[in-house]
Structure 1
Amino acid sequence: MNTNAGNTGMASVDHAPLQVHEIGSFHVGGNIVSLSGMAPRMRVSTARGAVHPIDPNGEMIVGQMYVQYVKLASPRSEHPLLLWHGGGMTGVNWETTPDGRAGWQMYFLKAGFDVFVSDAVERGRASWAPYPEVYSDAPYFRTAREAWEETFRFGPAGSWSVDPAQRHSHEGLRFPAAHMEAFMNQFVPRWGSNDVLTQHAYDALVARLDSSIILTHSQGGNFGFKASLRAPDRIRAVISLEPSGAPDPDQYDPAPLRHVPHLFIWGDYLSQHSFWINSIPNVRRWYEALTAAGTDTEWVDLPACGIVGNSHALMADDNSDAIAKIVLNWIRERGLVS
């Protein structure tokens, strides 16, 4: 596969205005639960409005996922592209970069795909559920320091400051660090106990479509791997941007995926951050198990390909289109888009 970020050849996209057939959304994966034993509350619905009693007991839907889709008038792939975000984030990651450039949603629409962007269970427009009545624990909130110095690898330990002038990023960083506050606006709370609900919703989305290509980021990677295991006949490819986890090959047999190609893409500075030092070996085991099972797999180390400076936010870095082109080349090489 050609991973030259400066190459303008094979994977060009159509820059003409999009011809869109349909834009819409739906929720998938939810189920009704009944709550009881909760104390009544009083509520004012708006400023200077009436005070009225609220009974929090009764039925509600939980575990739903929000999905927005854009369908082209003449798609060049018969397989929709599903964009699944990472932990503490939402589908906005794929829509527009923090510095205002078009995101991967637009890139792959112009490449000829119908695109489905999700807000997973508990995120964005998927909504929340009561805790601890439904969600068993309190949410986690991502701090700027955790994002900057650890998960997203914008800078080394001790490099974050609330004062932009005092922040220090990794040398050659491709993330537009001047727009960190815009990126922080995208952070949402996440729960540590909802993997089952989230996986159920993702599986329900896959089951709703005849076929699809899954493209995941970070925490979304594990959901994508398991969704493909549960429906290998519906998934045409799995693309994983820096997955933070993967199935244990001692517990999951990769053999059903021998006909489902897998692409793994990794950025820079990984050896400088403990989260990634501890995460990558488990993902590598799954990659090696897939390869041993006969699956078409590719592990792309961008720095080894001469593409340096990429953070964990590959779809937001200033060379995000070049990374998207690597993905598109790989998809085209497998005959999944014309």
Structure 2
Amino acid sequence: MKTKDESEESTTTEAPLVIHEIGSFFVGGEVVSLSGMPKRARVSTLNGPAHPIEQNGEIVVGQMYVQYVKLAAPRGSCPLMLWHGGGMTGVNWETTPDGRPGWQMFFLRAGFDVYVSDAVERGRASWAPYPQIYDEVPYFRTAREAWEETFRFGPAGSWNVDPVLRRPYSDLRFDAAHFESFMNQFVPRWATNNVRTQRAYDALIARMGHSILLTHSQGGNFGMTAALHSPEQVKAVISLEPSGAPDPLQYDPMVLRGVPHLFVWGDYLDVNPFWVHSMPAAHRWAEALRAANVDVEWIVLPERGIHGNSHALMADNNSDAIAALVLEWLVRKGLIATPG
């Protein structure tokens, strides 16, 4: 007899992937020296002895973690980079909160080598002392912020610590029963590391040779800026609900001719103050790209009859259908060979 957990495991009749290599590396980072730090005593294990610790000395900061899966016979023209949003990590792309295969697996099955990163200060990239290196203490995302503001699971006033009393949007595509699982993915974030993070992403692009960028939320601005810094190496930019974008008064979009851009947006945007104030930057940049004769496609899912999508497009219950829209665009741009 199957247990409940066994019966809920995802099953598939698809053929196993043929993998050439799985690995990881760190990119970016610099050695800095700490001084003026007090001595401390550390207990390394429960009931163990106290060890005196000298905190002054050299440490590495600003590094980014990257995990890759390379196929034995990829069909993509170059690797696909998956870059997460603010207060999140690369786990967003791996498995959905309700236990389904995520976009990492979707695009591996489509034929791409896939690279999933944890940006500076996130997940396995670790973080640095503050205020010695980072200028302030971190922010921690609350459940209400995620539910009502950033991810748009319900309107203002709809969050409640009691799941029975929560009021998600009636057509919400995110499975609200798994909200606590989604909260497990939240990590601290700092507001002072944009330069370090951009430097690490740029270093990743330089290391890769050629790549396609698929970004989410805060990662969108980093991805669009990385393309500006390396237009000959970035073959396409896909931005899922970017929360920011380059300023056309500071950057020349003309350098991105030949680099197609896709923007994808979900539902409830016009009734959410956070997104009402966040979207104009992406609008301005998309229009500047179009004016520079850059290939731009702007997809608003409700305009295509697809309703109920939250900010967590890669975790909503129609995530594979959204990924298929992205894949179809990549096929049209000649960035992956069609089967057969």
Q: Structure 1-normalised TM-score?
A: 0.95
Q: Deviations over 1:63-118 (max 9, x none)?
A: 00000000000000131000000000000000000000000000000000000000
Residue aligned with 2:182, SS:
helix
Residue aligned with 1:196, SS:
helix
Residue aligned with 2:191, SS:
coil
Give the CA deviation at 1:282. 1.1
Q: Distance in 2 between matches of 1:267 and 1:68?
A: 28
Q: Distance in 2 between matches of 1:133 and 1:100?
A: 39
Q: Which aligned pairs between 1:298-317 and structure 2 lie closer than 5 A?
A: 298-317=297-316
> How many percent identity over aligned positions?
70
Q: Distance in 1 between matches of 2:134 and 2:151?
A: 26
1:34 partnered with 2:20: no
Give the CA deviation at 1:204. 0.4
Q: Distance in 2 between matches of 1:15 and 1:259?
A: 35
Give the CA deviation at 1:272. 1.1
Q: Which aligned pairs between 1:55-134 and structure 2 lie closer than 5 A?
A: 55-134=54-133
Q: Deviations over 1:120-170 (max 9, x none)?
A: 000000001000000111000000000000000000000000100000001
Q: Distance in 2 between matches of 1:199 and 1:152?
A: 24
Q: Which runs of 5+ in 2 are unaligned?
A: 1-12
Q: Distance in 2 between matches of 1:78 and 1:35?
A: 44
1:250 partnered with 2:249: yes
Q: Which residue is 1:192 aligned to? A: 191
Over aligned residue pairs, what C-alpha RMSD do you find? 0.8
Give the CA deviation at 1:50. 1.4
Q: Distance in 2 between matches of 1:271 and 1:15?
A: 39
Q: Distance in 2 between matches of 1:327 and 1:16?
A: 22
Greater relative CO (CA pairs within 8 A, separation 6+): 1
Q: Deviations over 1:223-258 (max 9, x none)?
A: 000000000000000000000000110111111001
Residue aligned with 1:318, SS:
coil
Give the CA deviation at 1:221. 0.2
How many residues are matched?
A: 325
Q: Is the 8 A contact 1:15 1:110 kept in 2?
A: no
Q: Which residue is 1:336 aligned to? A: 335
Q: Structure 2-normalised TM-score?
A: 0.95
What is the letter of the counterpart of residue 82 of structure 2?
Answer: L
Q: Deviations over 1:203-224 (max 9, x none)?
A: 0000001100000000000000
Q: Distance in 2 between matches of 1:78 and 1:183?
A: 33
Q: Distance in 1 between matches of 2:47 and 2:261?
A: 57
Deviates more, 1:42-51 or 1:284-293: 42-51
Q: Is the 8 A contact 1:149 1:156 kept in 2?
A: yes
What is the letter of the counterpart of residue 113 of structure 1?
Answer: F
Q: Which residue is 2:138 aligned to? A: 139
Q: Deviations over 1:26-49 (max 9, x none)?
A: 000011000101111111111121
Q: Which runs of 5+ in 1 are unaligned?
A: 1-13
Q: Distance in 1 between matches of 2:319 and 2:76?
A: 22
- Give 4+ residue runs of structure 1 displaced > 2 Å after superposition: none
